[in-house]
Amino acid sequence: MSRIITVGAAQLGPIQKEHTRESVVERLIALLRQGAAAGCDLVVFPELALTTFFPRWFVDDITTADHWYERSMPSPVTQPLFDTARELGVGFCLGYAELTDDGHRFNTQILVEKDGSVVAKYRKVHIPGHEHHEPDRPFQHAERYYFEPSMEGFGVWKAFGGRVGMMICNDRRWPETYRVMGLKGVEMILCGYNTPIHYVPDPSQDILQGFHNALVMQSGAYQNGTWVVGVAKGGVEEGVDSLGQSMIVAPSGQIVAQALTTDDELIFARCDLDWCARYKGTLFDFDRYRRPEVYGNITAQRGVILD
Ligand code: CDT
């Protein structure tokens, strides 16, 4: 017996400031239809997939940025995506900026089943970048101004015949992200990202963006015996070049599919969830080999404490 999810990673090319939500939803629907034609059960879209990556601009009054956020999901503009999913019998995962009724702002991702119903919501935990305007930068990365970090942590949900978890962009660089989900038996982690190639605090990392992207997702997959689906919004958006290289990684840590462009592009793979057990039951048999009694620092402290 094998448990197969055919998953599509629906990479997006840039979304410019003047592009309407309606035009973006049309692009998402076109990718969803490609996914259906390829036999996908589930199609994964990037982080903040409905708009340009607006944290690259700072505004003094955050309410003037409210138009970048979604107040409901589905919304009138996104409803056609949900309707198409139900019509095609294909689920999806979508990242967007969320503004709650009580004024909280999250970087959010939802998992939608094949019948168009929302089965899970994840709000980004690791918020990178800066809180204040930094005028000397060529572009801002003010996620810490626009989003609060979620206190809900990392969920794993029974969906698509397996155990599915979610993370968003910078979360993928932190081993704790994968491990918390690994401890909940995750079999497939879905991750949207927007990664500028130019890393302003240390430009020597620019040429390593692709390497680091693969490194963290491949090691997270292998060390936790899980599939990882990483999906970019890539290309030159408002003058900022962003990494593509969307990929589907097996529990072995091997890349089984990778995007070739930085445009709208669907890649897909037939993912056998039972492959996870080969790693979870042997080298990474957590119950047998982990030593939580000596891992206390991991949850007890945030930064480095020197003796
Ligand atoms: N969106 C997001 O989290 N991007 C970060 C960029 C680096 S921090 C400025 C990332 O980890 O890819």
The pLDDT value given to residue 307: 86
pLDDT at 135 over 70: yes
Q: How far is the CA of 171 from the centre of ligand 1 (A)?
A: 9
Q: How far is the CA of 127 from the centre of ligand 1 (A)?
A: 8
Q: Ligand 1, from 47, 195, 215: best to mutate by most atoms within 8 Å of Cβ?
A: 195
Cα–Cα distance for residue pair 6/13, rounded to 1 Å: 22
Residues 6+ apart with CB under 8 A from 276: 187, 225, 226, 227, 251
pLDDT tens by residue, 279-291: 999 999 999 999 9
Known catalytic residue at 124: yes
Q: Closest residue (by CA) to atom 1 of ligand 1?
A: 194
**Backbone torsion region of residue 109, taken as left when φ is above 0, otherwise alpha when ψ lies between -120 and 50, otherwise beta:** beta
- Looking at the chain, the whole-number percentage of residues with pLDDT higher than 90 is 99
CB of 128 within 6 A of ligand 1: the answer is: yes
Contact criterion met (CB below 8 Å) for 188 and 7: yes
The pLDDT value given to residue 20: 98
Q: Which of 70, 98, 113, 124 is catalytic?
A: 124
User: Would you state the structure tokens that stand for residue 241, as one six-digit string?
Assistant: 């070049």
pLDDT tens by residue, 147-162: 999 999 999 999 999 9
Average pLDDT, the chain: 98
CB of 141 within 6 A of ligand 1: the answer is: yes
Check residue 45 and report its DSSP letter: -
Minimal CA–CA distance to 41: which of 93, 109, 99?
A: 93
pLDDT at 2 over 90: no
Confidence of residue 1 (pLDDT cuts 50, 70, 90): low
Q: How far apart are the first and last CA of the chain?
A: 52
Ligand 1 atom at minimal distance to the Cα of residue 199: 9
Known catalytic residue at 169: yes
Contact criterion met (CB below 8 Å) for 128 and 144: yes
The pTM score is 0.98
C-alpha dihedral sign at 284, 169, 134, 236: positive
Q: Which of 40, 93, 169, 271 is catalytic?
A: 169
pLDDT tens by residue, 233-277: 999 999 999 999 999 999 999 999 999 999 999 999 999 999 999
